[in-house]
């Protein structure tokens, strides 16, 4: 923006006029939608960031990123140090576990046992990010422009709804992977029943059928949809609205003399109003704060539902046996699934009474679980935002006008 150009009032969406519009010709078609590419790359970067965080903190990756399928389960099952339940040592780090597995099983261990769950986790993350971007674009018009800076930012209700839809789509896509993870037994592979994860997945999905895949899906749907809604709603609110409100209050409350002496000063308007650009460290700080806040608030929803889900999943093997061997009517099978939920809540009630109440039971180990998950979740959201901006279009400069000062956001 140059001196003498008009400033856009706060609340007006950015818009760049093209040469076709200026000369009166037909406007050029909208740019292609890059949300799928953004979702895939963000999910991949998030997975890599989680691996790096696990290596840095010397702990298995599952402690830092709750993947749908544990890719180190088999590696731990064949490791003598893990099976002996020895104290922590470097032999229990992720690289050491993989190195031992490769020495004993050969290099085919990677494509047969490690690659399938890694691909599954990446695809599930890609579905979540892509569904969120597509839904947000449909609900919030400025988000559909795919510019680097979305202004005005979407309200919390919009991002909450987009996250709710994206979480539901992710839950539907992840149902087969959840079914496999729930029924996985390392002894089956150790005994030679299955040659690889690929073989195990194909055989198990055929044996449990569609009913087995979606057994317990109601709890999974609640956890994923509500968790993603709070996750993205908090992230977008702190990242955008929190940042805009902070710079507006901070620079808007300063005197004109202090603004003129500030290193953030860009230039003066012809009317004497100073134009300032926020310090370059403020926005990344809000981006990091948004990632931490989103991780903590989403855990408030997902942690207790995960406790209920773990209890319910223990009943699936019995339900699978009844559905596969007894061949009852479909209505009777659905009735058994319904009563399984009743039994789950009855058992959870007993566990809660033993723990001293529902709150203590459902939020047991909440603090440590959340602390372990914050690094990779924050890194994943930062990667998501950086990749989104990489594929976004250059936008017109956004200006927030306050009494006595104009704040240049781009």
* Segment 183-195, tens digit of pLDDT: 776 666 666 677 7
Distance CA 402, CA 37 (A): 38
Q: Which of 44-48, 164-168, 197-201 has the lowest mean pLDDT?
A: 44-48
Secondary structure string (H, E, C) spanning the chain: CCCCCCCCCCCCCCCCCCHHHHHCCCCCCCCCCCHHHHHHHHHHHHHHHHHHHHHHCCCCHHHCCCCCCCCCHHHHHCCHHHHCCCCCCHHHCHHHHHHHHHHHHCCCHHHHHHHHHHHHHHHHHHHHHHHHHHHHHHHCHHHHCCECCCCCCCCHHHHHHHHHHHHHHHHHHHHHHHHHHHHCCHHHHHCCCCCCHHHHHHHHHHHHHHHHHCCCHHHHHHHHHHHHHHHHHHHHHHHHHHHHHHHHHHHHCCCHHHHHHCCCEEEECCCCCEEECCCCCHHHHHHHHHHHHHHHHHHHHHHHHHHHHHHHHCCHHHHHHHHHHHCCCHHHHHHHHHHHHHHHHHHHHHHHHHHCCHHHHHCCCHHHHHHHHHHHHHHHHHHHHHHHHHCCECCCCCEEEECCEEEECC
Task: Name the residue with higher pLDDT: 357 or 206.
Answer: 357
pLDDT of residue 158: 96
Q: Tokens at residue 320, please? A: 């699978």
Residue 250 or residue 42, greater confidence: 250
Q: Which residue has the higher pLDDT, 254 or 8?
A: 254
Task: Give the domain ranges of the chain.
Answer: 123-408
- Percent of all residues in the chain with a pLDDT value above 90, rounded to a whole number: 19
Whether the per-residue pLDDT at 135 is higher than 60: the answer is yes
Residues 6+ apart with CB under 8 A from 42: 125, 126, 129, 380, 383, 384, 387, 388
85-102 pLDDT, tens digit per residue, is 777 777 778 888 888 889
Per-residue confidence band for 171, with pLDDT thresholds at 50, 70 and 90: very high
> Which of 366, 255, 391 shows the shortest CA–CA distance to 304?
366
Range of lowest pLDDT (52-56, 243-247, 292-296)? 52-56
Residue 160 confidence class, pLDDT cut points 50, 70, 90: very high
- Checking if the pLDDT of 278 tops 60, the result is yes
Rounded percentage of the chain residues whose pLDDT exceeds 70: 71
Out of 26-40, 278-292, 335-349, 353-367, pick the least confident: 26-40
Lowest mean pLDDT among 134-143, 186-195, 295-304: 186-195
Two tokens, residue 92 = 């229990």
Of the listed ranges 80-84, 188-192, 223-227, 370-374, the least confidently predicted one is: 188-192
pLDDT at 129: 86
pLDDT > 60? residue 363: yes
Closest CA to 255 of 244, 265, 242, 245: 265
Check residue 321 and give its pLDDT: 61
pLDDT category at 331 given cuts 50, 70, 90 is low
Task: Please state the pTM of the whole predicted model.
Answer: 0.72
What is residue 252's predicted lDDT score, i.e. its pLDDT? 81
The number of beta carbons lying within 10 Å of the beta carbon of residue 196 is 17
pLDDT of residue 13: 37
């Amino acid at each position: 923006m140059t001196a003498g150009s008009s400033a856009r009032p706060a609340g007006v969406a950015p818009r760049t006029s093209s040469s076709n519009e200026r000369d009166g010709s037909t406007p050029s078609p909208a740019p292609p939608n890059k949300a799928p590419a953004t979702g895939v790359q963000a999910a991949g970067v998030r997975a890599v960031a989680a691996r790096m965080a696990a290596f840095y903190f010397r702990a298995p990756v599952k402690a830092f990123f709750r993947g749908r399928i544990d890719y180190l389960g088999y590696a731990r099952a064949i490791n003598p140090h893990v099976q002996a339940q020895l104290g922590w040592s470097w032999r229990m780090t992720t690289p050491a576990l993989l190195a031992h597995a490769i020495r004993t099983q050969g290099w085919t261990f990677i494509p047969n046992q490690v690659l399938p769950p890694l691909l599954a986790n990446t695809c599930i993350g890609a579905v979540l990010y892509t569904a969120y971007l597509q839904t947000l674009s449909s609900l919030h018009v400025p988000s559909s422009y795919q510019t680097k800076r979305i202004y005005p930012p979407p309200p919390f209700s919009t991002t909450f709804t987009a996250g709710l839809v994206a979480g539901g789509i992710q839950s539907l896509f992840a149902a087969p992977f959840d079914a496999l993870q729930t029924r996985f037994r390392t002894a089956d592979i150790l005994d030679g029943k299955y040659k690889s994860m690929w073989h195990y997945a194909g055989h198990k999905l055929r044996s449990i059928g569609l009913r087995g895949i979606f057994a317990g899906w109601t709890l999974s749907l609640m956890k994923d949809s509500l968790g993603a809604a709070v996750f993205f709603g908090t992230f977008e609110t702190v990242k955008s609205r929190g940042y805009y409100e902070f710079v507006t209050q901070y620079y808007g409350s300063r005197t004109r003399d202090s603004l003129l002496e500030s290193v953030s000063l860009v230039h003066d308007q012809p009317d004497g109003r100073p134009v300032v650009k926020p310090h370059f460290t403020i926005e990344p700080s809000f981006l990091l704060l948004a990632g931490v806040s989103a991780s903590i608030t989403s855990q408030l929803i997902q942690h207790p539902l995960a406790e209920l889900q773990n209890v319910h999943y223990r009943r699936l093997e019995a339900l699978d046996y009844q559905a596969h061997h007894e061949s009852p009517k479909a209505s009777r099978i659905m009735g058994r699934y319904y009563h399984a939920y009743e039994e789950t809540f009855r058992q959870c009630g007993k566990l809660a009474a033993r723990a001293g109440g529902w709150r203590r039971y459902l939020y047991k180990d909440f603090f440590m679980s959340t602390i372990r998950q914050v690094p990779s979740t924050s890194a994943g959201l930062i990667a998501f935002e950086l990749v989104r901006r990489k594929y976004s279009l250059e936008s017109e400069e956004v200006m927030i006008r306050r009494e006595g000062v104009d704040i240049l956001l781009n």
